[in-house]
Structure 1
Amino acid sequence: MKPRSLVSSRFVWALSCVGVLFLVACIPRGTENIVLVPGAFPSPPGVPPAGASVAEDREDRTDIDWKTMPRPLPEPRWPELDHDMATVPLWPSDPACAMHNVSFALRASRTFLVSFPRSGNSWTRYLVEGATGVATGAVYAGETLIHFGMKSQMRNLNGKVILIKIHANDRRRVPDHVPVILLIRNPADSIISFFNYKKGKGSKIKWLRNVTYGAYFTKDFRDHFDLELIQWKKLAIDQLLYSQRLLVIPYEELKKDPIAQVRRALAFLGVPADEGRLECLRRYPDGPVLGLQRQASFYENGLVDPYTPEQKLALAKAVAEVSELLRERNFPPLPAYNLTHK
């Protein structure tokens, strides 16, 4: 007669084997290579799971930075130009750059440049126009094109521009399947700059106006902050959740190295890099629009801290939420923001 302990151990071993076989049989096909990500959010309908659009050699990498590109990328080719429409020289006073123009495309596919207001959208468009030689537009009919004295009437410019500016997070206007470049700026800076744009005085040019020192400590500013922080976060989150083809460019990274971020935009748009154009952009990185990003002088010079501790906490929470979704789409988190002043 076998000892009871031996019988019991064999019974437990057999039962364990049966359990393992049962679990293996229940695993759905195609899930064997899933990598669990701590804190991962489920992918929404129509959006590939995190990593699905990223090259396989990135799966185990930990050095992803803001020069990394989402995959797959389109085959680079020069856009066909519409020679019946206007052409404007970009840098006519420089003999080394005078040959570079900006023109309208013949049949450009739609790509949206999505950003919260006062986040460098117009400057990004200038850089893309300089690098590609193709005009950009905006969904806002009253806006004048950067290098042309005409309004951005998209019904007349459909297929003629390489990027379309929009500040809204309306999925009907920016469908999930349409490529999107998402431009994100420190909310502490963009919210102040937008407040200055809406409420500032002292100049006929709306972008150059300044608010008074005391304007930051009013109910008007508190209401502005509460509304616009919600909009800043929602705009970024909607794109990160639903855009099926997405490139993210932080404004701070663009300022740090414009050419590196322009190269990312070119690869995403499927346009070859013209080193001659990029060299001219290095000479003239600001263009006619970067100066429009001036903030109220008190804030810009660090003379005022407009945010309460509660507002700073709300800013930090919003940034953390967006950074988490960036990680889920295999982008780096947002840069370390100074939530006090520029």
Structure 2
Amino acid sequence: MSPFLKVMQLFVMMTATVLGMLVLLLVTPDLEETMLRVVRHYTTPHYRVPTQNNVVIVAVERQVDPHIPGTSTGVEFDRNRKTFVPWPYSEECGRYHIHFARQKSLPMTALVSFPGSGNTWVRYLLETASGVFTGSVYVDRRIISKGFYGEAVPPDCGCTAVQKTHGFALEGLVPRGLAQRTAEVKLFQGRGILLLRNPYEALLSYRNFLYGGHTGFAPHSRFKGPEWERFASQLAVVWKELAVTWINYTKGHEAIILHFEKIRLNPRHDITRLLDYLGIAVDEQRIGCVLNHIDGPFRRPQSSQQMLFTARDPFSGKLHKILDAVINDLDQMLAKRGWERIPTQLYKFYKHNST
């Protein structure tokens, strides 16, 4: 074969290869999306399996809990898995990494909250303070892109410190049946951290997330009118009942409560309390780095919305009565349980209505 024909043959082969790759890119699904889709079967509805009598049963493999709240035992890291450096440009703090724990070495522990309550921020505080990734029953690619690698692993891997969940709150309704309501409590064997935030501000934050993502804002028009009234009044009840479920259907020291407003005031106290509950050793120098980088990657910037809501209360008199009532009811339940009561003095918009 002449040199010219050889060159032409090579050119045709290369052209065919390139065209083939382009066709594959056009018709083949995103591999990462395919992998994440597999993980999504760990979301809450997946755990709810109806029987022939339409009764929900939650089958959970019993795990041996190697940690006892109140002790600091440390965590065995899996050094062969991917790590993340939260503060790579800090001379003082750049040496700290976040790791996966050894597979099946940690018990499942829910970090449960109503949407908009600061769950992702608390995960950031816990990951950076402990050096252990946190997980989730969902998969959020935006979270993964910021270094929350535990987001992409099964929540029952035993390799993440806690697992984020909003329980039935994402459905926007309180399940009628007790089995459905308590399904996640049973799944986590009652072990969980209930993160509670002022429902007034949680509703505003959730509304912003629905229309603007993790760091954006909803249009001002979305905070007035009949649709906003329905949204806020219905979800106020969900806010209360989600917390009530974890208060009433856990016992002893299985679960603890954190108040978002108190974490903002004194993060060191609650970070230490979290680590103690999880049985993770406290590193004071590491916590110092956390406090120096307290906001994390998903803090919403300052906006005109805050000024607007200072001048114009987005909650009508009817909504104030509903929200104040659920706050007062939940506060009494916390008192009966012996848990830390609601810091209503820190609750913006709260008017302590008696009805």
- What TM-score, normalized to structure 1? 0.71
Unaligned stretches of 5+ residues in structure 1: 1-71, 201-205
Does residue 222 of structure 1 match 2:229?
yes
Conserved in 1, the CA contact under 8 Å of 2:247 and 2:334?
yes
Letter in 1 for 2:228: F
1:42-93 C-alpha deviation (Å, 9 max, x unpaired): xxxxxxxxxxxxxxxxxxxxxxxxxxxxxx7343111111111101122221
In the alignment, does 2:209 pair up with 1:213?
Answer: no
Is the counterpart of residue 324 in structure 1 residue 335 in structure 2? no
Gaps of 5+ in 2: 1-67, 169-180
Per the alignment, residue 272 of structure 1 pairs with: 281
Q: Over the residues paired in the alignment, what is the CA RMSD in angstroms? A: 2.4
Once the two structures are TM-superposed, the CA of residue 168 in structure 1 deviates from its matched residue by 0.9
* CA distance, structure 2, for counterparts of residue 177 and residue 281 of structure 1: 30
Q: 8 Å contact 2:229–2:319 — kept in the other structure? A: no
1:308 and 2:321 correspond: no
Which amino acid in structure 1 is aligned with residue 325 of structure 2? K
Correspondence for 1:259:
268
Tell me how many residue pairs correspond in the alignment. 264
Taking only the aligned residue pairs, the percentage that are identical comes to: 25
Indicate the residue corresponding to 2:182 in structure 1. Answer: 171
Q: Specify whether residues 96 and 150 from structure 1 end up closer, same or farther in structure 2 by C-alpha distance, changes over 3 A only.
A: closer
Over 3 Å counting, the alpha-carbon distance change for 1:327 and 1:340 in structure 2 is closer
CA-CA distance at 1:181 after TM superposition: 0.6
* Aligned partner (choices 244, 247, 250) of residue 243 of structure 1: 250
State the Cα distance separating 1:148 from its structure 2 match.
3.0
Q: Confirm or deny that 1:80 pairs with 2:76.
A: yes
Match of 1:139 among 133, 137, 140: 137
Q: Residues of 2 paired with 1:264 and 1:94: CA distance?
A: 26
The residue aligned with 1:192 is: 204
When residues 340 and 210 of structure 1 are mapped into structure 2, their CA distance, relative to the original with a 3 A threshold, is: farther
- In the alignment, is residue 338 of structure 1 matched against residue 348 of structure 2? yes
Change (3 A) 1:118 1:82: same
Structure 1 partner of 2:120: 122
C-alpha deviations, 1:287-318, integer Å up to 9, x for none?
212x1487871567513211111211111110
Distance in 2 between residues matched to 1:234 and 1:246, nearest whole Å: 16
Query: Quick check: 2:136–2:150 contact (8 Å CA) kept in 1?
Result: no
- The normalised TM-score by structure 2 is 0.69
1:224-253 CA-partner distances (Å, limit 9, x unpaired): 112211110111110110123111111000
Structure with greater proportional helix content: 2
Misfit runs of 4+, over 6 Å: 293-296
In the alignment, the residues of structure 2 paired with residue 287 and residue 105 of structure 1 have an alpha-carbon distance, to the nearest angstrom, of: 22
Note the 1:280-295 alignment, pairs <5 A.
280-289=289-298, 291-292=299-300
- The residue number in structure 2 matching 1:13 is none
CA distance in 1, matches of 2:235, 2:304: 17
Equivalent residue number for residue 158 of structure 2: 159
1 CA distance for matches of 2:140 and 2:316?
A: 36
Is the alpha carbon distance of 1:81 and 1:188 closer, same or farther for their aligned partners in structure 2, counting shifts above 3 Å? same
The one-letter amino acid paired with 2:310 is G
Task: Tell me how far apart the structure 2 counterparts of residues 262 and 300 of structure 1 sit (CA, whole Å).
Answer: 33
In structure 2, what is the Cα distance between the partners aligned to 1:295 and 1:78? 41
Q: Structure 1 residues 195, 276: closer, same or farther in 2, change over 3 A?
A: same
Q: Bigger radius of gyration, 1 or 2? A: 1
The separation in 1 between residues aligned to 2:303 and 2:182, in whole angstroms, is 30
Shift of 1:208: 3.1
